[in-house]
Copies of this chain bind each other. A is one copy, B any other.
Amino acid sequence: MSKLKIAVLISGNGSNLQTIIDKIEEGYINAEISVVVSNKENAYGLTRACERKIKTEIVDKKTYPMKKDRNKKLMQVLGEANVELVVLAGFLEIIADEIIEKYENKIINIHPSIIPSFSGKGYYGEKVHRKVIKSGVKVTGATVHFVNKETDGGPIIMQKAISVNFDDDTRSIQKKVLNIEHEILPLAVKLISEGKIEVVGNRVKVK
């Protein structure tokens, strides 16, 4: 079976990117990362990619101040790399509708909560965990989902929960949630690469 060509989009540390790189090298995922795109030039994930000789691209506000030009550049980068799956791994920018249309059910995102809780506009990054703690919930988790035009609203591929204790803080929650992100994101990529994920309406069937 030919290897699935992936783009991984990041904005920061890129620990999810690292997990995907590792799982590909271990042979757990039959795929190759064609390109890593960052919208921040100082994202540590770029270094991780560079160390493994993976092509990197920076599509940032400094070089492309206009959102329209960033979209155009991103579309071009994905097209040139013949990407079959786009993985948003902590990419803190809304994907333009035209890209979503072109890559329908081919863009996945990892969100650090159990969607629909703590999701939608305004819920990103560490802010999610702060709101989790403030709310007093005893369970949170992570979600891998397809990206559609509704923020965090696309078909859900996989979710996993973790416990929240009274003494937890943003940092400890983030650590626990990241652990499960590193489990379910590679698993979702693996299943997609093996053709085992089918979208049925707004629901996902794992074959």
Contacts and interface: CB of A to CB of B under 8 A. Distances in A.
Interface of A: 114-118, 134-139, 141, 143, 155-161, 166, 200-206
A138 B114 CA distance: 9
B135 A159 contact: no
A160 B139 contact: yes
How many copies the complex holds: the figure is 2
Given A114-B114, A117-B114, A117-B117, A203 B161 contact: no
Q: Which 3 A-B pairs have the closest CB atoms?
A: A161-B161, A136-B203, A139-B159
Given A138-B157, A139-B161, 13 more contacts: A114-B137, A114-B161, A115-B137, A116-B135, A135-B156, A136-B201, A136-B204, A138-B143, A138-B156, A139-B160, A141-B161, A166-B200, A166-B203
Contacts of A204: 136, 138, 166
